[in-house]
Chains A and B, each alone.
Chain A
Amino acid sequence: MTAMNATTEPLVKARNVHKAYESLEVLKGIDLDVMPGEVVVILGPSGSGKSTFLRCINHLEAIGRGSIMVGGEQIGYRLKGDRLVKLSANAIARQRSRIGMVFQQFNLYPHMTVLQNIIEAPVGVHGENRAAAIENAERLLARVGLSDKVHSYPRQLSGGQQQRVAIARALAIRPQLMLFDEPTSALDPELVGEVLNTMRDLAEQGLTMIVVTHEISFAREAADRVVFMDDGHIVEQGKPDDVLGNPQHPRTKAFLARFL
């Protein structure tokens, strides 16, 4: 899944991204490049804008200024000559179709079984052959350790199992990029580990991932780069050992001090 973009071009290129809800400015100029195969963990206090930024990458939120490119295409817009025009809803849907997303609240479809949840997008959006999609779904469920839950409904699963199904569902669309929006924040403490283990496996297999989380240990072990956000800005970024072990910015120091 990594070799989709073997050049040295960044897979994600965010430039001067601003976002405001009415008068409340949430993002105040974010610049970020993510290389293919890179695992970027975004840390920061609540309200720093890290989840909002993640949701801007697949245009669940429209940005107010700046630009976001994924895989060479500008998300939500298109150049027509030298005029930038908004894309139609269906064109945006197509852009999103190779970006997988995992949500804090899992958001599995409760009226569908685990299998139906996973094959919905491959069959319905990508037009994959149903039998092939089922085979792939079973392979993915084995990978997240839930082969025996194929025909269960989401409500019959624990939170950790639901989140692992949600990860399998996101992988089923063969994503070139995976977005994780606080994937362990809604879990009971004893269920966090199983989800982080699954994510660590994906990171090792070279999937490009952007992870918003509060799990410092995950950042230390699995991240190629840690980005620290505060008040709508990126205040510090670098290798996990540098940012977590030897933070330079006072906001980063204050934030990390609470986890020691």
Chain B
Amino acid sequence: MSTQHTTDVSPSGDASVRDVANAHTPFRYDRLILWLAVGAVVANFAWIVANNENFGWPVVRQYFFDPTVMQGLYVSLGLTVVAMVLGIALGLVLAVARMSTDRLASTLSAWFVWFFRGTPLLVQLIFWYNMSTLFPVLSISIPFGPTLASWETNSVITPMTAAIAGLALNEAAYMAEIIRGGLLSVDRGQGETAEAFGMTRARSLWRVIIPQAMRSIVPPTGNQLISMIKATSLVSVIAMADLLYSVQSIYNRTFEIIPMLMVAVIWYLLITSILNVGQGYIERYYSRGDRRTGNDGPAEKPAATALAEEASH
């Protein structure tokens, strides 16, 4: 409704006074005081931390871009990316298998998730790393039949492969459940429509179901990614030189434990902050076609405006 219509109803001067477009927002002194009080507490705390010599800020600055730290940072980031990509790909396969009508596929998928979600990641990493004590030789063979190829376990399982296998398989179990939740959130009529139009199951997943599921898959996946960056610090126990391991190797020499941990903490915070921004962009992309995220008011009924458009034809 435009303002012209309301002035028609009441021609006297009080109509424009009553027009909410001319309303003022009263200044809230209580809010201002609250802002100032909280601001003072935060500033004071920051000042105390900055001036506390025990944090060793000069040491933090000195080692922040140290080559050893940088090397560790690259390892942490690389592990995160590889484990996450493998985890999402395998998680997608597991989710689709779990939801399929094929009993064999859904049972195998359920067992995988049960095992890898049900045991601590730290224990899984140690098991992968010590694989050679369980299975000294890895081989590909026909069950109960001849062996086709075999390798020494110690030559296959390095700290790197143990870390990737441990992180990726564990991640796949969680991603499988996140993706399954996303696929279930899509209206059943969508898959049915794709089917009715002669799409194969694979095409309907790829073109119709997954793009709509992404809206509910992206936020928890962002969560997983941030967890993963921090979970890579666990690989320091299997002698993988990640960010945490590299600052540990420095403070084992210099005994400046807190400053070196601060270096790692600040790097972890920086990375997760960047990821948060990226997640925002991805979420906006996948909510296209949803008018409620556009310029329209949140409570607006789609039919009402469309009807108005209709009337203007």
Q: Name the B residues within 8 Å of A218 (CB-CB).
A: none
Q: Name the B residues within 8 Å of A120 (CB-CB).
A: 197, 207
Query: How far is B290's CA from A83's CA once the two chains are assembled, in angstroms?
Result: 50
Instruction: Answer whether residue A103 sits at the interface, using C-beta atoms and an 8 A cutoff.
Output: yes
On chain A, which size bracket covers the interface? 35 or more
CB contact list, A151-180 vs B, under 8 A: 153-161, 169, 173
Instruction: Answer whether residue A136 sits at the interface, using C-beta atoms and an 8 A cutoff.
Output: no
Give min CB distance, A215 to chain B, whole Å. Answer: 20
User: Interface-forming stretch among A24-32, A39-47, A72-80, A106-114?
Assistant: A106-114
Q: Which of A94, A105, A110, A188 contacts B198 (CB 8 A)?
A: A94
Query: How far is B200's CA from A89's CA once the two chains are assembled, in angstroms?
Result: 7
User: Interface-forming stretch among B169-177, B249-257, B301-309?
Assistant: B301-309
Nearest-CB residue, chain B, relative to A179: B196
Nearest-CB residue, chain B, relative to A120: B207
Query: How far is B288's CA from A154's CA once the two chains are assembled, in angstroms?
Result: 11
User: Interface-forming stretch among B142-150, B187-195, B236-244, B271-279?
Assistant: B187-195
Total of A-B residue pairs, C-beta within 8 Å: 87
Q: Name the A residues within 8 Å of B203 (CB-CB).
A: 124-125
Q: If the complex has contacts A124-B203, A125-B199, A173-B198, are A109 and B291 also in contact, measured as CB distance less than 8 A?
A: no
Instruction: Answer whether residue A90 sits at the interface, using C-beta atoms and an 8 A cutoff.
Output: yes
Q: Name the B residues within 8 Å of A5 (CB-CB).
A: none
Contact B302 A155 (CB under 8 A): yes
Q: If the complex has contacts A93-B200, A121-B198, A153-B289, are A158 and B208 also in contact, measured as CB distance less than 8 A?
A: no
Most buried by A among B198, B199, B309, B310: B198
Query: How far is B211's CA from A120's CA once the two chains are assembled, in angstroms?
Result: 14
CB contact list, B192-243 vs A, under 8 A: 192-193, 195-201, 203, 207-208, 211-212
Query: How far is B207's CA from A219's CA once the two chains are assembled, in angstroms?
Result: 36
Contact A103 B189 (CB under 8 A): yes
Contact A153 B197 (CB under 8 A): no
Query: How far is B189's CA from A112's CA once the two chains are assembled, in angstroms?
Result: 15
Give min CB distance, B96 to chain A, whole Å. Answer: 14
Contact B289 A89 (CB under 8 A): no
Query: How far is B80's CA from A137's CA once the two chains are assembled, in angstroms?
Result: 45
Contact B291 A58 (CB under 8 A): no
Give min CB distance, A256 to chain B, whole Å. Answer: 31
Instruction: Answer whether residue A60 sits at the interface, using C-beta atoms and an 8 A cutoff.
Output: yes
CB contact list, A61-115 vs B, under 8 A: 89-90, 93-99, 101, 103, 105, 107, 109-113
